[in-house]
Structure 1
């Protein structure tokens, strides 16, 4: 068939051999060489078509993008013409990338502007999800890394794509490589000319990306490189859940998308996606390169952690017990899931050489500590325990979990109020939504822990390491942060009223206008 380019044509489909449209009389052959086969889609400022190039041997297929300025104003058309040429040159520059369609031609015809691009055969990622189902974490990681590399390359040319979404990422049939398409709304950071005095081009003034995938600053017409990072984060979220952002719940405090309940994802990968999806630009990865480094580092850290956890602690003495009750007369307890029972408690055996030092409050007697200190002056090593053992111990009335290693455990929404975790290790522990009010975390290592929306009011963090911790929406009212390390912590939407946080500490963390500062004012010291 032949397709008519007239935007107002009532019946654009014609016979393949027709030269003129039967409905409106418009010429069907564009620029004397392009035979339009079918329409591919329409947007607010134009349409896309599949066409055959009759001027080349074999009549290869190509994609034609028709840009339609919706005005008869001659001044606007003159500006649109100049800006269209600038946009075309930008597309020609980024089109040299092997995973971006090449720009083949561009021209104006009857006050309509056309971009001719290479046709990429394959399914886009939206089609893949609908046909084959959602992606697992491993496949989502592959997509993320491959597209981040493409974005890194176009950002290096000072170009922002502005419309990253599953439908604009095609898996090329010939080699399975991902190809980023639809650069019709790119923003050239260097060469943009204001339309009516603004910093937006004539076309970007209409096309600001796809709702749900575009971040707030882009919808406010102030896109940055991090805008593409956000949109790619939403794309990965869609690939793993099959749900569009509009169909997911949103945190009423922080504005974040609550997507974790729809997908099975590791804490480390979730942390990277969470940073990509930060509403505030200053809290997000600033560039694709920065996100790539985080992804590579996360893979390295995960491999290192797995290799360390795969070997038992051979230095642990045979008479160490995690429970006050031993089974079968054996005082050493295996901490595997097969040996956990409802009688489990978290109390060290009175003969354990892992007694606390004098700066810690413990349930072990002073005589044991004295004898232990005579044996060695080395600092005591935290005893590794599981989330189940913590919960069972707390349910039985024990609240002292000092000098324990609870890293990587899942204690989401747990009630552990009034507990003591002094000198314990909680690296990357999930305590999201937990009740930790009036809890002692003195001298703890809590780096990169998930504490989002937790109640930690009136808690004690003296000399605690909270670097990189997620405290978004957390209630920290009246908590003590003396000598606490907070570099890189996320306190967006957190309640910091009546805490002793200093200005120096606040400068090291991420906050937003929803953060209640120590003064009680939102967003202001």
Structure 2
């Protein structure tokens, strides 16, 4: 079936072979390539359709969002066009993140504006709760860590989502990661709540957000970064109860939601949620990074506690917190909770109120990295040329480099490799089911060496961000899904190493040896790969946005589906054996 997008069409359904609508005569192919096949949702300001891109082999599906302009006022149309172009720019920037739908195209047709985005297949969290029941505390903590990392990225990009709710978060069926969807109209600080308002009606404005999830200042048309944090806290209430927060009673003095007696969670998590849900912005977390810090501290307390009574809960503030500058995002990979069974093709979002459900843009920066899968589950990519390779375990590497010497857990009798190049980093023991991280705080007796990396990785730890392993020999081993974000791996030997879905974004990788390595789905955004040897490496579906490839050797590398621009590739060395992102060999691309 082909669907007519004319909002006035009385019978929009047409046959697949039709070129014009039988009922209204409108052309059915948008921009000469997109064939709408089903409506996902529509409202007073627009609609969302599933469409097929008829210009590409296999006619892949995508999501087409239509902004309808009801006014014939030229000034209103010009304002709509500016808004549309601003939205496209912001979505293009934010869409570099693997947990945000990519912007594929945008165009104007017959005074209607269209955005084409990646179609995300999976359940919304609203659907997941209805099918599988409420979340427990462990799943809420995992949810918060993953989504707060995304919020941290948005805030570093100076963007406010302004409509976070369970219906706007999808658990992607292919990998179980959470994806923020439904990015509506983008507005700057001056016009953040005005959409196509007529000059003769200056009071025509729209508060953006969903009642129950949007905080008071947002409904008063003054959203801040803290508004998204409130909405995320309100989303947690829904996930734990299946009820909209607007159904909860409120404190008549403060306006705070009275939820504590209804939801059984630990005092520590309750204190964090209470601070996220403070009606006053001065008492609420001002940045996602601050919530992450408290959540990690709570998890660390749970690790060392001998009983629940020994945990010290985080107290809600009694005075305004100190505002801290937003730092560049450092991802906190987590294992996603189990996916609901038999995921189908639910919509991106059945609602499309363009003046609602919106991002606010206020300029540019970096693309952080995604959450990793559960520990100790190396993944073999079906597209990897190395998929049948047997990688050495870290214990085997240990034995090869250090002989059969035995030692106690302290490892004092085994000197680190390349100790002069290794940066100190503190290691925290993990709690059950949680991930472990190396933080930037250091001590002289706790350094990331090849040995400590081996031991920690074999115990299920994956987070080694900000470490320095320059010059180390890590060739031929399994390091799938490891987090080396912002690390130094200059001249490190990673040849034939399994780095499937590894996080190497923002890392120093100049002159590193990745020859024949498995980098399928790896995250290398903003990495410095100048002079790196990537001959024969499998980079299928790798994320190389803004990576420095100057002088990198990609001869014989497989870049099928990789996110990389022709400009980047022009700086690297390729040959006829190089498989380009379009799947063709170098000479035929």
For Structure 1 versus Structure 2, the TM-score category normalised by the shorter chain is: 0.5 to 0.7
Query: How much has 1:164 moved relative to structure 2?
Result: 0.6
Q: In structure 2, how many angstroms separate the alpha carbons of the residues matched to 1:85 and 1:205?
A: 20
* Number of residue pairs aligned between Structure 1 and Structure 2: 318
Secondary structure in structure 2 of the residue aligned to 1:30: coil
TM-score normalised by structure 2 residue count:
0.51
Question: Max radius of gyration: which structure?
Answer: 1
Q: In structure 2, how many angstroms separate the alpha carbons of the residues matched to 1:191 and 1:243?
A: 33
Distance 1:300 1:238, change over 3 A: same
**Aligned twin of 2:289:** 289
Query: How much has 1:214 moved relative to structure 2?
Result: 1.1
8 Å contact from structure 2 (residues 77, 196) kept in 1? no
Q: In structure 2, how many angstroms separate the alpha carbons of the residues matched to 1:76 and 1:234?
A: 35
Query: How much has 1:24 moved relative to structure 2?
Result: 1.9
Q: Which moved more, 1:60-69 or 1:188-197?
A: 188-197
Q: In structure 2, how many angstroms separate the alpha carbons of the residues matched to 1:247 and 1:184?
A: 26
**Aligned twin of 2:38:** 38
Query: How much has 1:407 moved relative to structure 2?
Result: 7.8
Query: How much has 1:56 moved relative to structure 2?
Result: 0.8
Where does 1:65-144 land on structure 2 (aligned, <5 Å)? 65-144=65-144
8 Å contact from structure 1 (residues 162, 185) kept in 2? no
Distance 1:193 1:233, change over 3 A: closer
**Aligned twin of 1:242:** 242
8 Å contact from structure 1 (residues 160, 189) kept in 2? no
Runs of 4+ in structure 1 deviating by more than 6 angstroms, as ranges, are 190-198, 486-489
**Aligned twin of 2:165:** 165
Q: In structure 1, how many angstroms separate the alpha carbons of the residues matched to 2:79 and 2:317?
A: 49
Query: How much has 1:22 moved relative to structure 2?
Result: 2.3
8 Å contact from structure 2 (residues 164, 232) kept in 1? yes
Residues 61-109 of structure 1 deviation map (CA, whole Å, 9 limit, x = unaligned) = 1001111133111111012112211111011000000100000001111
8 Å contact from structure 2 (residues 65, 115) kept in 1? yes
Query: How much has 1:195 moved relative to structure 2?
Result: 6.9
Query: How much has 1:282 moved relative to structure 2?
Result: 0.9
Where does 1:173-184 land on structure 2 (aligned, <5 Å)? 173-184=173-184
Residue 117 (structure 2) pairs with residue 153 (structure 1): no
Distance 1:255 1:190, change over 3 A: closer
Where does 1:243-322 land on structure 2 (aligned, <5 Å)? 243-304=243-304, 306-307=305-306, 309=307
Residue 214 (structure 2) pairs with residue 217 (structure 1): no
**Aligned twin of 2:488:** none
Query: How much has 1:194 moved relative to structure 2?
Result: 7.6
Query: How much has 1:249 moved relative to structure 2?
Result: 1.6
Residue 91 (structure 2) pairs with residue 62 (structure 1): no
The Cα RMSD (Å) is 2.8
Distance 1:185 1:277, change over 3 A: farther
Distance 1:187 1:137, change over 3 A: farther
Q: In structure 1, how many angstroms separate the alpha carbons of the residues matched to 2:70 and 2:47?
A: 13
Q: In structure 1, how many angstroms separate the alpha carbons of the residues matched to 2:320 and 2:71?
A: 52
Query: How much has 1:301 moved relative to structure 2?
Result: 2.6
8 Å contact from structure 2 (residues 282, 320) kept in 1? no
Q: In structure 1, how many angstroms separate the alpha carbons of the residues matched to 2:72 and 2:320?
A: 55
Query: How much has 1:206 moved relative to structure 2?
Result: 4.0
Secondary structure in structure 2 of the residue aligned to 1:211: coil
Query: How much has 1:43 moved relative to structure 2?
Result: 3.2
Q: In structure 2, how many angstroms separate the alpha carbons of the residues matched to 1:123 and 1:292?
A: 25
Q: In structure 1, how many angstroms separate the alpha carbons of the residues matched to 2:271 and 2:93?
A: 34
Secondary structure in structure 2 of the residue aligned to 1:113: strand
Distance 1:85 1:288, change over 3 A: same
Distance 1:290 1:212, change over 3 A: same
Distance 1:44 1:284, change over 3 A: farther
Query: How much has 1:11 moved relative to structure 2?
Result: 2.2
Query: How much has 1:186 moved relative to structure 2?
Result: 4.0
Larger RCO, structure (CA 8 Å, separation 6 or more)? 2
**Aligned twin of 2:17:** 17
8 Å contact from structure 1 (residues 161, 185) kept in 2? no
**Aligned twin of 1:418:** none
Q: In structure 1, how many angstroms separate the alpha carbons of the residues matched to 2:32 and 2:321?
A: 59
Gaps of 5+ in 2: 323-589
Q: In structure 1, how many angstroms separate the alpha carbons of the residues matched to 2:64 and 2:174?
A: 21
8 Å contact from structure 2 (residues 3, 12) kept in 1? yes
Query: How much has 1:26 moved relative to structure 2?
Result: 1.6
Q: Which moved more, 1:104-113 or 1:20-29?
A: 20-29
8 Å contact from structure 1 (residues 45, 207) kept in 2? no
Secondary structure in structure 2 of the residue aligned to 1:261: coil
Query: How much has 1:28 moved relative to structure 2?
Result: 1.3
Residues 222-269 of structure 1 deviation map (CA, whole Å, 9 limit, x = unaligned) = 111111111111111100110012222222222111223332211111
Q: In structure 2, how many angstroms separate the alpha carbons of the residues matched to 1:170 and 1:100?
A: 10
Secondary structure in structure 1 of the residue aligned to 2:261: helix
Q: In structure 1, how many angstroms separate the alpha carbons of the residues matched to 2:256 and 2:23?
A: 50
Q: In structure 2, how many angstroms separate the alpha carbons of the residues matched to 1:131 and 1:11?
A: 33
Residues 286-306 of structure 1 deviation map (CA, whole Å, 9 limit, x = unaligned) = 1111111111122123333x2
8 Å contact from structure 2 (residues 83, 187) kept in 1? no
**Aligned twin of 2:327:** none
Q: In structure 2, how many angstroms separate the alpha carbons of the residues matched to 1:181 and 1:193?
A: 20
8 Å contact from structure 2 (residues 256, 278) kept in 1? yes
**Aligned twin of 1:227:** 227
Q: In structure 2, how many angstroms separate the alpha carbons of the residues matched to 1:253 and 1:192?
A: 29
Query: How much has 1:136 moved relative to structure 2?
Result: 0.6
